[in-house]
Amino acid sequence: MPYKVGLYTLVLFVSWWNHALPQSPPLPTPPTYSRALETALRAELFDGSNYSTLQRPDKKVDVRLSLTLLTVNELTWSDDRLSWKDTTSTSQDYSSINFLFSTEEHVWTPAIIVENSVEDISVISDSKIPMRITWDGRIHWNPTGIYKVVCESDITYYPLDTQTCSIKISTWGYTQGEIQLQLDNQKTFDTSFYNENGEWDLYSATGVKSSDRSRGGESYSSLTFTLTLRRKPEFHIINTIFPMILMAFLIPMVYKLPPESGEKMGYCLTVLLAYAVYLSLISDNIPSTSKNICYLSVYLCLTLAYSTISVTIVSCILNAYAQGEKKVTGCINSICCCIRSKRVADKNHVTYYGDHRRMRIEEFPPDYDSETNVISYREYSKILDKIFFVVYIVIITITTAVFLILLLIHFYSIEERSS
């Protein structure tokens, strides 16, 4: 109900005001639109003696530019020579014609290039796309195009990486005093036509007025449009990171295989070859021109090094096991005896409790003779298996934790900035 009251009040006020003013003579009725009238307007505007596509307008031209993802540019500028709003400058009244269509063959167009294009640095042009020329001389043009530009990749956090690519656009041939590029305030970067990609998420799309380019001592206007893309992580987590971590924890399992099984060395080499193949497959998907080191490649190289070292260790263990009951001498024997004596003492030191609460009977292990202080190479190999199993578990756990923490910190920092 309040909307209706407001509307009625406005109508009554305007009607009263018009009646209060002195009556002005009626304006002449413009002629209705016809094809003949438009033909006459075209002949007058594009007269060869008054208009040439090689001549720019007298005043400095402000070209408003925006990018539509994907592959469409929108250019808007004003050309006073193509305006018919002032009826005194034309031979007859064309006010019934709001706009005309033309092509770049008949209309002057600003020379604009994509500076960082890798295929063809040529002026943006499309003779098949019509231009809309409005009555006030404003020209709207949407030339289509597919542009391949140079973008530096940052694969530090691959496959949870974020890539930034810039499209640099500037004038060519016309200096800053003749053509000034400006951003379209309404839609600097239009993403309404963008189709979602299966591998990348569009994080942001912005445009800025960049510093003017200098060529041959002259300044040229320029704009920079920036795209920020973030890789979708689900596929790579399931098919890359998760299998790679599982394979890393297969390396310590070689020390759980008994030497007499005969599969110890074969298992170790299988894990080593699997990692070598996996490293080559991932290297094919990582750009080779990046200036940054990929944490994933570092992790793979470290685990490959751990697996290579384990081959050497397993060879030494199998060689020691092959010595049979031969006794170990020297400092190695002393260290192994300390480890074994602690383990045996803990096992034999048993405390018994009777039915009565105050009764406690302790049976201490007997003293070991001198023979227990000498171990064989077979026992020595089994002790090495236990030691290196613990060492490898600790090293691989720490390496994996550091790798995952670095990736997750980067990933969630991007999430916080986007939210």
pLDDT at 406: 93
End-to-end Cα, the chain, rounded Å: 40
138 and 260, same domain (yes or no): no
Q: Is the domain of 212 the same as that of 285? A: no
- How many structural domains does the chain have? 2
Residues 187 and 250 in one domain: no
> How many residues does this entry show for the chain?
419
User: CATH number, domain at 189?
Assistant: 2.70.170.10
| pTM of the model as a whole | 0.67
pLDDT at position 11 is 29
Is 59 contained in some domain? yes
Could you tell me if 50 and 168 lie in one domain? yes
Residues whose CB is less than 8 angstroms from the CB of residue 206 and which lie 6 or more positions away in sequence, other chains included: 188, 189, 225, 226
Q: How many CB atoms lie within 10 A of CB 171?
A: 25
Domain membership of residue 368 (yes or no) is: no
What distance in Å separates the CA atoms of residue 389 and residue 383, rounded to the nearest whole number? 10
* CA 79 – CA 58 distance, rounded (Å): 9
Does the residue 269 lie in any domain?
A: yes
Q: Are residues 39 and 180 both part of a single domain? A: yes
Virtual torsion, Cα 315, 318, 324, 328, nearest 10 deg: 50
Would 8 be classed as within a structural domain? Answer: no
Q: Mean pLDDT in runs of 10 for the chain (419 residues)?
A: 33 32 52 77 77 78 68 73 79 85 89 86 86 90 84 87 89 87 76 79 84 80 89 89 92 90 88 87 75 88 93 90 75 60 48 48 48 71 89 96 93 72
Specify whether 194 is located in the same domain as 313: no
Cα-to-chain-centroid distance, residue 31:
57
